[in-house]
Structure formats: C-alpha cells, structure tokens
C-alpha cells in the first residue's frame, strides 16, 4: 500500500481490468481454505514422488470462492499445463473425444460447471477417468463396434456450484478428492483486498479495506469487484486514496447495505416476506414471481443468505428467518 501510488496514477493504466490480474499465482497468495490447501499439498507431493500426474479432483461451492484459481495453482505446482473448458461447451461425445485425444501426457484438464455435462458425454468420461481409455462406438445397431484408445496420463479438475447435480458415478471417480470451498471470514477477505490494492496501485486505509471486507459476502470475487468500484468512485472524484467515507458513498451508490446484501437479495427477502408470509415457498415460485432466473437465485443469492442465517431451506421450500425480518424492518 505505498502512498506514492495515487489513484490518479492508475488512471492511464488498465491493470486490474482483467480478473486474471488479481488471481493468485502462488500458494502463499491464496488466502484461506486451509484444510483444502493441506490436503492438496499432500496429494501433489505424493504424485510428484510417484512421478505421475495428480489424481482427479472436484471443487464445489458458490461462485467466486476460488475454484478456478485452485485449478491454476494445482496445474502450476504439478508442472502440468492447464487446458480449460466447461460442461456446456462439451455438447457431444465427439467434442470430449477431441479434447481428450488432444491432451499431452501430464496435462491438466479443467472442466468448469461440470454439472452441466450431458449423460452420454459423462458415460465416456468414466473409463477415461478410471482407466485412462476412450471407448468409441463406431456405427449403429447390430454392426456397431467399440474401439478403445489409450489416453495419455492426465489430471481432471472439475468445478461446480451445484454438487447435488453431479451424478454419484461421476463424483466417485474423483479419486484425488472432492473439496467444498467455504466462505471466507472478514480478516481473510481484508487480506485479499490489501493484496489486490497493492497490485492495482491503490492507496487504501485500514478502515476502508475493513468496510469493503464487511460487505463482500465472504467472497473474493465480490471483494475485488467492490474494491474496483470504490477505486472508480475515488478516481472520478479526484480523491488520492480510498478512505472510509468514499467507500461508504460508493456502497450507497451501489445499493449495497452494511451486511453486503445487494438490492436483489433484499427484493428476494421482501417478496418472500410480503407475498408469501415468509415462506415456505419453492425457489421456482419465488423466481417466477420476481421474473428472475431460478439458477441466479439458487446459485448466486441463496448461498450467502443461507450462510448469514437469513434464509432457511426446508423440505417445503425457503423460509425467511427472524434475523431477516429484523434486518429489513418487518414485523414478525
């Protein structure tokens, strides 16, 4: 946080425009998730000693918690170049066959949103992961025959925000481990903000970084996003550093409250309370009444509202808790 790096100095420079600028490149910069890091370090060291690529790994958890970043770090640590794709991009068995046969020995294949792989592609994945072979069916009907291609040794790293939608046969083939990423505490998020500020050349004071951390929903991606918005606000207002006052003004413009709730979170909770008497109500019904995407509520809004105890998941649907009523000034 060097004070000579004034906001105006970064005006001319596009650093921080890309997500990758702030992505940790070393384990020492990857804050938190200690248990995952310990497990991975053993997995990677054991693989190195056996002179073999690490076994397949699945990361799951809400968006922005660092799954892709972990994939990059594992690939770098094990010296296995990373090839990146995603579940919806692999539409046909042929797409997967082409990806797998183009891998070189030791490559790491990263599949994001793995819960969106279709069934036929998934079935080809099983022997590829388990036995390192690709079964290709040629022809149809009685004359169909299967040929088997041996694949180079590779590591599959997959990520998902919806682990319940990953079938159990697929899940069980992640022999290196299935890891759940947790939300970060405020102190960890503040460390991430301080590091990002240094990279972006933003001079930020302690109170300001604390306040951003408080409102980041325990999520590094949100923390970096909010830091950049506060930087924009400071730059446009010709401030030379980020202080608490400027940060609070930015949050009020962004309509983000002191717990980090966005306007959309408050709309969801208010609708649940006003229209559905606090629930229980299914996410589908809630989404329809808000003209919002089901998946946005389920994957983006809901995890944090559950985490801070504003929402409860019951077999009959979602319920707003007393804490939510209190925060939004509703009478129970």
Q: Which are the catalytic amino acids?
A: 67-68, 112, 161, 221
Q: Is the peptide bond before 280 cis (omega within 30 degrees of 0)?
A: yes
In angstroms, give the least distance from the CB of 260 to ligand ADP: 15
CA 265 – CA 303 distance, rounded (Å): 11
User: Of 17-25, 240-248, 260-268, 303-311, which part binds ligand ADP (CB under 6 A)?
Assistant: 17-25
- Identify the three-state secondary structure at position 52: coil
Q: Which stretch binds ligand ADP (CB under 6 A): 3-11, 29-37, 228-236, 267-275?
A: 29-37
Q: Which of 16, 56, 67, 231 binds ligand ADP (CB under 6 A)?
A: 67
| Contact pick of 40, 43, 47, 69 for ligand ADP (by CB under 6 A) | 69
Query: How would you classify the pairing of strands 145-150 and 133-138?
Result: antiparallel
| Min CB(72)–ligand ADP separation in Å | 8
User: What's the rounded Cα separation, in Å, for the pair 64 and 183?
Assistant: 10
Q: Which stretch binds ligand ADP (CB under 6 A): 5-13, 39-47, 57-65, 143-151?
A: 57-65
Of 4-12, 134-142, 219-227, 286-294, the segment contacting ligand ADP by CB under 6 A is 219-227
Q: Cα-flanking dihedrals φ and ψ of residue 84, to 5°? A: -115, 135
Residue at shortest CB range from ligand ADP:
66
| Cβ burial, residue 48 (10 Å; 0-12/13-18/19+) | middle
| Identity of the residue, 81 or 94, whose beta carbon is nearer to ligand ADP in the bound complex | 81
Looking at 240-282, list the stretches that DSSP marks H as alpha helix, in order from N- to C-terminal side: 244-254, 263-276
Q: Which of 40, 47, 68, 193 binds ligand ADP (CB under 6 A)?
A: 68
Beta carbon nearer to ligand ADP, 69 or 321: 69
Query: Which of 19, 25, 130, 187 touches ligand ADP by CB under 6 A?
Result: 19
Residue appearing with tokens 């050349």: 201
30 sits near ligand ADP (criterion: CB under 6 A): yes
DSSP secondary structure string for all residues of 131-165: HSEEEEEESSGGG-EEEEEEPPP-EEEEEES-GGG
**Which residue number, 74 or 269, has a Cβ lying nearer to ligand ADP?**
74
**Any contact of residue 187 with ligand ADP (CB under 6 A)?**
no
Tokens of 282: 């299914």
How many other C-beta atoms can be found within 10 angstroms of the C-beta atom of residue 124?
A: 21
Told to check if 228 binds ligand ADP by CB under 6 A, we report no
| Separation of alpha carbons 310 and 324, rounded Å | 5
| Token pair listed for 65 | 């918690």
Give how many residues touch ligand ADP by CB under 6 A.
Answer: 20
Tokens 């990059």 belong to which residue? 72
CB of 44 to ligand ADP, least distance (A): 17
d(CA 149, CA 136): 8
66 binds ligand ADP (CB under 6 A): yes
Which C-beta is closer to ligand ADP: that of 220 or that of 278?
220
Residue 51 is classified by DSSP as T
Question: Would you count residue 224 as binding ligand ADP (CB under 6 A)?
Answer: yes
111 interacts with ligand ADP by CB under 6 A: no
Cβ atoms within 10 Å of 305's Cβ, excluding its own: 22
Nearer to ligand ADP by C-beta: 71 or 80? 71
Could you list the residues that contact ligand ADP (CB under 6 A)? 19, 22-24, 30-33, 63-69, 159, 192, 220-221, 224
């Amino acid at each position: 946080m060097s004070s000579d790096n004034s906001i105006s100095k970064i005006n001319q420079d596009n650093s921080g425009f890309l997500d990758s600028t702030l992505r940790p490149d070393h384990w020492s910069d990857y804050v938190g998730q200690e248990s995952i890091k310990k497990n991975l370090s053993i997995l990677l060291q054991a693989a190195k000693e056996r002179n073999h690529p690490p076994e397949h790994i699945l990361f799951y958890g809400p968006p922005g918690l660092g799954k892709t970043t972990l994939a990059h770090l594992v690939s770098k640590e094990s010296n296995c170049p990373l090839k990146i794709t995603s579940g919806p991009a692999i539409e046909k068995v042929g797409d997967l066959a082409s990806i797998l046969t183009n891998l070189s020995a030791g490559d790491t294949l990263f599949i994001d949103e793995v819960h969106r792989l279709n069934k036929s592609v998934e079935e080809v994945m099983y022997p590829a992961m388990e036995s390192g072979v690709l079964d290709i069916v040629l022809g149809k009907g009685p004359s169909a025959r299967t040929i088997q291609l041996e694949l180079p040794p590779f590591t599959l790293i997959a990520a998902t925000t919806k682990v319940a939608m990953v079938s159990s046969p697929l899940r069980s083939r992640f022999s290196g481990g299935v890891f759940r990423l947790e939300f970060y505490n405020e102190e960890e998020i503040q460390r991430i903000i301080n590091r990002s500020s240094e990279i972006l050349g933003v001079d930020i004071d302690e109170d300001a970084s604390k306040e951003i951390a408080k409102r980041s929903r325990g999520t590094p991606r949100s923390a970096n996003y909010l830091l950049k918005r506060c930087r924009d606000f400071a730059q446009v207002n010709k401030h030379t550093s980020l202080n608490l006052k400027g940060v609070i003004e930015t949050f009020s413009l962004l309509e983000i409250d002191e717990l980090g709730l966005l306007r959309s979170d408050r709309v969801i909770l208010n609708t649940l309370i006003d229209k559905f008497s606090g629930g229980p109500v299914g996410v589908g019904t809630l989404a329809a009444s808000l003209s919002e995407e089901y998946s946005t509520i389920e994957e983006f809004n809901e995890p944090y509202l559950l985490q801070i105890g504003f929402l409860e998941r019951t077999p009959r649907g979602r319920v707003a808790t007393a804490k939510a009523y209190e925060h939004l000034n509703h009478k129970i």
